[in-house]
């Protein structure tokens, strides 16, 4: 994106990503006490059920706004692109799922755009509002910070198995894994992708998190590297929560869960805060029956800021509420 903006004349050629880009959403200071936080997100469908797909779309679109510590979502504009031959009932189902998710946040789908496209692509534009002083950026991680993750990893592999069970790859997959094992992992992945991060944003504000980002398409280390670069620190992961049973499935598909680069959708928040605030943060999430895991630490960077897995990183197999 940086190169494209430079070519368009919207970013100086000598500007770095941190001059304009790098955070999870765009922040516009509209007044001394009002910051508008906006995100756009689109992707191809993950699951056949339109209503559930709509919930996933809304969760993914709001994720980046919640990652900025914003608690109040003003609206979600829907974007639906799909083939002319696709039934409108599917699009209606997606919209219903999006609306259901947003209403649980005290907001709604307030409009949007539909176009004809050779393949389905669904997404939305989410707008949140906060006080400028309350916005949490990716650039605030500090040496000594604890690092917490609020959802387990492994969505890409679980949902790949969902697709493979429906086509000619089914037999080869079932030679290695039972259908019950795969469906259990899929159910966990769907619960992860439809669980709002609103309560995480509230907990971040309550304890005073230094930085945060959500884990989506670039994987854990991809998003952590962004925080490292913007904050000028090193991030080391000592343990990682993963969906129970996902590691051999990820290896089967060639997905990079064990190396920290597997893609996620509507994944968890990576939160950076003072170690003495970890217990309070965890307790706030437990009140909403949500988990979190202490996964690493932040240290001063001696060379180029970077993120990495510890040599003896531990994987914690887990379910999800």
pLDDT digits (tens, 9 = 90+) for 288-309: 999 999 999 999 998 999 999 9
User: Using one digit for the tens of pLDDT, what is the confidence trace for 121-179?
Assistant: 999 999 999 999 999 999 999 999 999 999 999 999 999 999 999 999 999 999 999 99
The answer as to whether 112 is a domain residue is: yes
Assess whether 97 and 239 both reside in one domain.
no
Per-residue confidence band for 18, with pLDDT thresholds at 50, 70 and 90: very low
Average pLDDT over residues 245-271: 97
Q: Looking at the structure, do residues 151 and 196 belong to the same domain, yes or no?
A: yes
Split at pLDDT 50, 70, 90, the class of 16 is very low
- Say whether both 90 and 23 belong to one domain: yes
- The reply to whether 107 and 180 lie within a common domain is no
Determine the pLDDT at residue 4: 60
Does 161 share its domain with 29? no
Q: How many CA atoms lie within 13 A of 29 on its CB side?
A: 7
**Residue 293 vs residues 146, 147, 251: alpha-carbon distances, Å:** 10, 8, 23
- Given a contact cutoff of 8 angstroms between Cβ atoms, the answer to whether 239 and 295 are in contact is yes
Boundaries of domain holding 267: 146-318
Domain boundary, last residue among 134, 161, 196: 134
192-212: average pLDDT: 98
Number of domains in the chain: 2
End residue of a domain, out of 93, 109, 134: 134
Q: Could you tell me if 82 and 112 are in contact, meaning their C-beta atoms sit under 8 angstroms apart? A: no
Note the pLDDT of residue 15.
44
Evaluate whether residue 140 is within a structural domain. Answer: no
Tokens 């709001």 label which residue?
Answer: 62
Q: Across-strand partners of 121?
A: 81
192-197 average pLDDT score: 98
Quick check: is 47 in a domain? yes
Q: Which of 95, 114, 134 is the last residue of a domain?
A: 134
Residues 124 and 69 in one domain: yes
Same domain, 219 and 129: no
Residues forming a β-bridge with 146: 273, 297
Does residue 32 belong to any structural domain of this protein?
yes
Whether 42 and 113 map to the same domain: the answer is yes
Q: In terms of domains, do 16 and 129 share one?
A: yes
- Judgement on whether residues 22 and 128 belong to the same structural domain of the protein: yes
Q: Is 102 within a domain?
A: yes
User: Is 141 contained in some domain?
Assistant: no
241: confidence class by pLDDT, cuts 50, 70, 90: very high
What is the SS3 assignment for 142? coil
The contacts of residue 209 (CB under 8 Å, 6+ apart) are 69, 136, 271, 272, 273, 281
Same domain, 56 and 102: yes
* Structure confidence at residue 29 as a pLDDT band (50, 70, 90): very high
Q: Which of 260, 239, 243 is nearest to 190 (CA)?
A: 243
Strands (E) in the chain, as ranges, are 26-31, 34-43, 72-82, 109-116, 121-130, 146-149, 211-214, 233-243, 269-273, 293-300, 307-318
Could you tell me the CATH number of the domain that includes residue 196?
3.90.650.10
What are the DSSP calls for 178-193, one per residue?
-HHHHHHHHHHHHHHH
Across the chain, mean pLDDT equals 94
Rounded mean pLDDT, 54-83: 97
Residues 160, 225 within the same domain: yes
Indicate whether 11 pLDDT > 60: no
Kindly state whether residue 139 falls inside one of the protein's structural domains: no
Residue 121 sits in a domain of what CATH number? 3.30.1330.10
Q: Give pTM, 2 decimals.
A: 0.92
Q: Which ranges of 136-218 does DSSP label H, i.e. alpha helix?
A: 155-164, 170-174, 179-193, 198-207
pLDDT of residue 19: 40
pLDDT at 5 over 80: no
Look at residue 171 and tell me if it is in a domain.
Answer: yes
Which pLDDT tens digit goes with each residue over 215-229?
Answer: 999 999 999 999 999
Structure tokens at 146: 């604890």
């Amino acid at each position: 994106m940086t190169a494209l903006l430079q070519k368009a004349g919207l970013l100086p050629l000598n500007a770095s990503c941190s001059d304009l880009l790098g955070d999870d959403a765009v922040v516009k200071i509209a007044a001394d006490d009002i910051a508008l936080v906006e995100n756009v997100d689109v992707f191809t469908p993950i699951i056949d059920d339109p209503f559930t797909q709509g919930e996933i779309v809304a969760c993914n679109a709001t994720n980046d706004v919640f990652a900025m510590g914003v608690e109040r979502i003003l609206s979600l504009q829907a974007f639906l692109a799909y083939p002319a031959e696709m039934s409108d009932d599917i699009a209606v189902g997606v919209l219903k799922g999006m609306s259901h998710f947003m209403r649980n946040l005290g907001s709604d789908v307030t409009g949007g755009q539909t176009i004809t496209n050779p393949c389905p692509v669904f997404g939305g534009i989410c707008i949140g509002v906060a006080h400028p002083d309350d916005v949490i950026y990716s650039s605030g991680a500090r040496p000594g910070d604890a690092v917490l993750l609020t959802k387990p990893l492994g969505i890409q592999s679980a949902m790949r198995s969902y697709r493979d069970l429906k086509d000619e790859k089914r037999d080869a997959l079932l030679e290695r894994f039972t259908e019950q094992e795969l469906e259990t992992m899929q159910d966990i992945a769907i619960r992860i992708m439809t669980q709002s991060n609103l309560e995480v944003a509230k907990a971040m504000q309550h304890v005073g998190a230094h930085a945060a980002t959500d884990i989506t398409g670039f994987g854990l280390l991809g998003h952590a590297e962004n925080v490292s670069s913007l904050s000028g620190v090193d991030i080391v992961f000592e343990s990682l929560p993963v969906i129970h049973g996902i590691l051999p499935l990820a290896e089967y598909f060639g997905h990079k869960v064990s190396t920290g680069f597997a893609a996620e959708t509507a994944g968890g928040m990576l939160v950076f805060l003072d170690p003495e605030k970890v217990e309070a943060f965890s307790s706030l999430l437990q009140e909403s029956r949500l988990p979190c895991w202490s996964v690493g630490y932040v240290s001063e960077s001696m060379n180029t800021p970077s993120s990495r897995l510890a040599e003896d990183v531990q994987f914690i197999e887990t379910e999800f509420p």
